[in-house]
């Protein structure tokens, strides 16, 4: 079988009335796929998404059918697909990346330093880098094709953007995406904090099922789609250590390279992913 779509990290296979999403061990930084493989990374992404999908079914349905390869065609019953593959319902994806920020960091912090706003949202004066925001903020962006960069849009622009594609539904979809995004973030961030992890920000993607209901798709609250910080030692006023690709990003920023990481940085990266999974789920992979 050949994938019908390949993203930076995922491969998607058509399985008739369902899709099979495989999270590979590829790693991308700054929208570039690196030359390294990060063993077990795909399994962490898939199993962590499963964990959160199970936890948030009370808020809205998700696209997951199974992560057991025995439920999938024989082609997937081989070691390289075991643990990192998810059979999913087919959805019509909504073309908005739904980003929620509970803490001020990254591009949000850069923007706030310039003019006191993040994606057009005015924030209180006097915030320090990595401060917790009074309330989580919703900052959607458009979904770019591979090789392009996503573009931040305001909530109002998201209404117009969705209205153009789904006439008569723009406002309904935009408000539901915002409300679901914030509800999912609040529930999961509270849980994560109780396990010693701060979820600083994350992004969700949603789609429509056959009945037109909004369903959460793609991946959910993984170290690839989120910034996870250790709660232990959290202190605003500077950047925080994290459980994600930060090791890789920092190394790439401060060294000459041709998009290949030293093995030591790869090992540190996967150790962080595994540690986050174990803290959140209480299980070892």
Q: Looking at the predicted structure, is the pLDDT value of residue 204 above 70?
A: yes
Instruction: Please tell me what DSSP assigns to residue 76.
Output: G
> pLDDT, tens digit, for every residue of 239-280?
999 888 888 999 999 999 999 999 999 999 999 999 999 999
Asked if 184 and 206 count as a contact pair (C-beta separation under 8 A), the reply is no
Domain boundaries, the chain: 5-91+248-281, 95-230
Quick one: fold of 5-91+248-281? Phosphorylase Kinase; domain 1 (3.30.200)
Please say whether the dihedral angle defined by the alpha carbons of residues 202, 207, 211 and 212, taken in this order, is positive or negative: positive
Residues 210-231 as b/e (b if ≥16 CB within 10 A, e otherwise) read eeeebbbbbbbbbbbbbbbbbe
- Percent of the chain at pLDDT above 70? 98
CATH superfamily of 95-230: ATP-grasp fold, B domain (3.30.470.20)
pLDDT at 237 exceeding the cut of 80: yes
């Amino acid at each position: 079988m050949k994938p019908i779509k390949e993203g930076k990290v995922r491969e998607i296979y058509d399985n008739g009335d369902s899709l099979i999403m495989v999270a590979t061990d590829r790693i991308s930084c700054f929208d570039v796929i690196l030359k390294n493989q990060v063993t077990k990374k795909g399994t962490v992404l898939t199993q962590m998404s499963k964990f959160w999908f199970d936890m948030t079914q009370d808020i809205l349905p998700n696209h997951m059918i199974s992560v057991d390869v025995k439920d999938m065609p024989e082609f997937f019953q081989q070691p390289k697909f075991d643990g990192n593959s998810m059979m999913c319902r087919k959805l019509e994806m909504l073309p908005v990346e739904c980003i929620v920020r509970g803490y001020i960091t990254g591009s949000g912090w850069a923007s706030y330093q310039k003019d006191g706003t993040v994606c057009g949202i005015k924030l209180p004066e006097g915030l320090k880098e990595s401060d917790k925001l009074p309330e989580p903020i919703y900052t959607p962006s458009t979904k770019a094709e591979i090789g392009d960069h996503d573009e931040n849009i305001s909530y109002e622009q998201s209404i117009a953007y969705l209205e153009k594609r789904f006439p008569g539904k723009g406002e309904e979809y935009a408000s539901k995406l915002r409300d679901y995004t914030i509800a999912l973030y609040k529930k999961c961030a509270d849980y994560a904090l109780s396990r010693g992890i701060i979820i600083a920000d994350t992004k969700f993607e949603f789609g429509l099922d056959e009945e037109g209901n909004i369903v959460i798709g793609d991946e959910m609250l993984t170290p690839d789609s989120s910034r996870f910080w250790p709660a232990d030692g959290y202190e605003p006023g500077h950047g925080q250590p994290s459980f994600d690709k930060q090791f890789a990003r920092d190394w790439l920023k401060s060294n000459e390279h041709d998009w290949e990481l030293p093995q030591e940085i790869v090992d540190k990266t996967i150790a962080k992913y595994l540690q986050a999974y174990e803290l959140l789920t209480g299980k070892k992979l």
